[in-house]
Amino acid sequence: MPDPQTFLLPSRAFILSQRDQNLPLRRAALADAEAHYADIEKGGYLEHLALVALIGETLQIVEDLGALANSFFAAPQGTAFFAALTNYNSRAINNFYSSLKKRPLEDFLQLLGFRIGGVRLEDALVFEPSLTAAVLTALEEVHLATATLVRTHMVNLANDWDRYRRFHHAFKHGLIVVNPEDVSMVENRQTKIDGVCVWMRKRDFAYGFGQIEPPYEETMLYVVGMGRVALDVLTYLVDFRVNFFDLVDLRGDGSWSLRPMQRVPWLWWFDKKDVSQESRRVITERFGIEFS
Amino acid sequence: MSAVRELKFEIVDADPGYVEQKLGAELYMHLRATGTIVAFRRRSLNRAFDLYESVKTEDEQGALGLLVLQRAMLCIEGLGGLLCALDGPSFERLVSYDLGDITAMFARVVADPSLTTRLFRFGTADAIDAEPDLSGEQRSALKRLAAITALHLDADLLTVRGFWEASHEEAKKTMHGVGFLAGRHTIEEPGAGMISRLVSRDQPRPFAVPLTTRVNPLTSQVNTEVGILDLRREAVDRFREAAIAALAATEILANGILRGVETNHAFTLPFLYAEHLSDEDQRVIDELRRQRDDAEDEAQKGVG
């Protein structure tokens, strides 16, 4: 068992803080940016600013997700994940998302906590009565289905990160959005094109970056959807960890004992088509869980 | 298709050669956008503060206090970036500054009042003396307006710098993975282990605990520093006040420089603080303002 004072208790407090403070912060920020966009008069520079701000608030959530997930992968041996998360590195999130697509499904099983150091959680816990081969097979299927769904969401978010991160940088660093009332985007030096454009950061010359074309309502809806998916994945990662900590009665002096297991230690989240009816039946029969 | 865009603009409200000489066209275009950016930031800030005031639980106050902090930081970084860009001037600096540049800039403007005057391109006493066609009475009133403007601006910049020194690192955490513990999880049982030892049980709530981890590259030793961030109403209101000061300074900065460039004046002086002058000085300034507006109207008619 890791040291409670340096590892378990701070990690528990960090995960609970994500649930109680940081996720509500992001939910409120996304809802407010969406409402602010709805409130402003459409058709001018203000609409561009509101859209870039909405993208910025949304990509904050994608960044949070990347930071948390990366910390589970990147924390050195013997170091709590939150130490990796709070050791800021400006390249970490870009590197994390750019390499995400290449990660095997096994990595997502680790990320979610179905595997810890290559050991399946079900092999590390004592179940009474012990798990049958049929139950173990069904568990493997739902774990893989959950990892598949989370992987799909995160790879999609990685693509969104790549597509929108320059807007996010413009939002965070001066709201450097090009004003279409003064500056036009053109193609072939002649043809004016409509769209939201930002000044690119860290360039030695004035470059515009723009790929958002009207109608902006479509982009707004897409971005809000992206934010909600990122919140769902982040909430899922956090709730799963909270579930783990519920297995242990940790006390302030560092002593601990296992709690009687009131419910299964896993949280599953999958597309029904990825899990056979038979496996769902086996799990329902063994653990009394109904799938919605 | 690459999303790097070809941009086209035409300078119509100023002499393009003068703009290029004084600012560069891209920075000029950004300054013209700044008024709308400031209005948008101000509304975002106030929306966050209203949300903070509308919630009751400690967790909600913690969350929304951090949102106010983040939005305040965005306002203040906006000013810092613009000051860095105008200290040159250089558009490249507008898009390439880092936080260290802003730290240095805020330290300089507070330490050197002449820098504020230079960056904001305010009319100094010497410049006012050198201005032709002014009466002695007008020169005196303008000098007093310059002094009062500098006083207010310095107060704003001092407030901004206070925020920056005390809170910018914490504020940046709201944009980099939210590396905070909610204060209550450090003082309520079972606590946060060794982190709780660094937090007083009497710490007024709500508060957050920012964590900053550094790794010694030679020894690979990992050290996590623990701070305290007050998120009670008074503290959150201070974030907002610093942001409001930054927005006010940004407006004065952008409007003044734009006006100077668009009217071919090396110096300008905003009328914003004229209401703090004596009645007699206000009368003189109002008259000067009328003369200026009339002259501009005439010039406009001439152009038409």
The pLDDT of residue A183 is 94
The pLDDT of residue A228 is 98
Work out the average pLDDT over A36-45: 96
Look at residues B237, B69, B34, B292 and name the one whose alpha carbon lies nearest to residue B164: B69
Residue A122 lies in a domain: yes
List, in order, residues 6 or more apart from A18 with CB less than 8 Å away: A68, A234, A238, B178
At residue B162, φ and ψ (nearest 5 deg) are -60, -45
Contact B5 A79 (CB under 8 A): no
Other C-beta atoms closer than 10 Å to the C-beta of A221 total 11
Chain A residues whose beta carbon lies within 8 Å of the beta carbon of residue B97: 173
- Retrieve residue B35's tokens: 């008024």
Residue A229 lies in a domain: yes
Closest-CA distance of chain B to residue A130, Å: 32
- Per the structure, the complete domain to which residue A77 belongs is given by 4-173+215-251
The pLDDT of residue A51 is 98
Residue A103 lies in a domain: yes
**Bigger pLDDT: A16 or A127?**
A16
Question: Closest-CA residue in chain A for B44?
Answer: A36
The pLDDT of residue A206 is 87
What is the C-alpha R_g of chain A? Answer: 22
Q: CA angle at residue B137 from B136 to B143, to 5 degrees?
A: 90
B206: preceding bond cis by omega (within 30 degrees) = yes
- Provide the domain count of chain A: 1
The pLDDT of residue A260 is 81
CA dist., res. A144 & res. B220, Å (int):
36
The pLDDT of residue A128 is 86
Closest-CA distance of chain B to residue A192, Å: 9
The pLDDT of residue B303 is 61
Confidence bin at A156 (pLDDT 50/70/90): very high
pLDDT under 70: residue ranges of chain B: 1, 302-304
A10 in contact with B, Cβ within 8 Å: yes
Work out the average pLDDT over A192-216: 92
Residue A39 lies in a domain: yes
Question: Closest-CA residue in chain A for B194?
Answer: A5
Other C-beta atoms closer than 10 Å to the C-beta of B237 total 14
- Retrieve residue B207's tokens: 């508060």
Q: Quick check: B123 and B97 in contact, CB under 8 A?
A: no
Cα distances (angstroms) measured from residue B169 to each of B20, B45, B71, B172, B229: 36, 19, 14, 5, 11
Residue A184 lies in a domain: no
Residue A143 lies in a domain: yes
**Bigger pLDDT: A249 or A118?**
A249
Question: Closest-CA residue in chain A for B66?
Answer: A25
CA dist., res. A266 & res. A125, Å (int):
12
The pLDDT of residue B19 is 96
Work out the average pLDDT over A204-213: 89
| Of the partner residues B81, B82, B214, the one whose CB lies closest to the CB of residue A87 | B214
A76 in contact with B, Cβ within 8 Å: yes
B4 in contact with A, Cβ within 8 Å: yes
Q: Quick check: B108 and B122 in contact, CB under 8 A?
A: no
Query: Could you write out the three-class secondary structure of chain A?
Result: CCCHHHHHHHHHHHHHHHHHHHHHHHHHHHHHHHHHHHHCCCCCHHHHHHHHHHHHHHHHHHHHHHHHHHHHHHCCCCCCHHHHHCCCCCCHHHHHHHHHCCCCHHHHHHHHCCEECCEEHHHHCCCCCCCCHHHHHHHHHHHHHHHHHHHHHHHHHHHHHHHHHHHHHHHHCCCCECCCCCEEEEECCCEEECCEEEECCCCCCCCEEEEECCCHHHHHHHHHHHHHHHHHHHHHHHHHHHHHHCCEEECCCCCEEECCCCCCCCCCCCCHHHCCHHHHHHHHHHHCCCCC
Outline where DSSP puts E strands in chain B: 4-9, 180-182, 207-215, 222-226, 229-230
Question: Closest-CA residue in chain B for A208?
Answer: B5
- Retrieve residue B29's tokens: 């275009």
pLDDT at A90 over 90: no
The ipTM is 0.96
Chain A residues whose beta carbon lies within 8 Å of the beta carbon of residue B51: 28, 32
- Retrieve residue A31's tokens: 């809802």
Other C-beta atoms closer than 10 Å to the C-beta of A3 total 13
Phi-psi region of A254 (alpha: psi -120 to 50; beta: other; left: phi over 0): left
CA B206 to chain centre: 27
Q: Quick check: B27 and B85 in contact, CB under 8 A?
A: yes
Confidence bin at A173 (pLDDT 50/70/90): very high
Residue A136 lies in a domain: yes
| Of the partner residues A49, A86, A186, the one whose CB lies closest to the CB of residue B213 | A86
Coil, helix or strand at residue B217: coil
Look at residues B301, B291, B281, B253 and name the one whose alpha carbon lies nearest to residue B131: B291
Q: Across chain A, what does the average pLDDT equal?
A: 94
Residue A113 lies in a domain: yes
